[in-house]
Amino acid sequence: MTVLTRTDPATQAFVLLRTVFTVAPILFGLDKFFNLLVDWPVYLAPWIDSIVPGSPQTAMYVVGVIEIVAGVLVAVAPKWGGLVVAAWLLGIIVNLLTLPGYYDVALRDFGLLVGALALSRLACR
């Protein structure tokens, strides 16, 4: 049986990823209510806006709640939370790839998706 310590690189990577994938979704989720970092509704593809009820800002409120819940899930159950965040990021990527001009953000989110999957795998050790 392997004993992991705070000096173990895998443990350090796990702690870093767990921290980031807890804090970032919660902060970004909260910002969906205030639009301090960016005007979030502009990131909503028109085809998604046409199928969700309400305004784009209302959709962002729902997105914000989901992101906050995902961040909390990473904190309490990183194996499953990492998978939920990865799936959520895949949805964001699909949205961004159908919205011209945001391909760079989609690529960044793909990197985050890979990080979320790595977190989930590290939580299994």
Q: What is the DSSP string of 33-53?
A: TT-SSS-GGGGS-HHHHHHSS
Task: Give the Cα-Cα-Cα angle 15, 25, 30 (nearest 5 degrees).
Answer: 135
| Mean pLDDT for the chain overall | 95
What pTM did the predictor assign? 0.91
In this predicted structure, the answer to whether residue 1 has a pLDDT above a threshold of 60 is no
Q: Which two tokens stand for residue 112?
A: 């985050």
Q: For residue range 72-124, what is the model confidence (pLDDT) as tens digits?
A: 999 999 999 999 999 999 999 999 999 999 999 999 999 999 999 999 999 99
**Which amino acid is it at 91?**
G
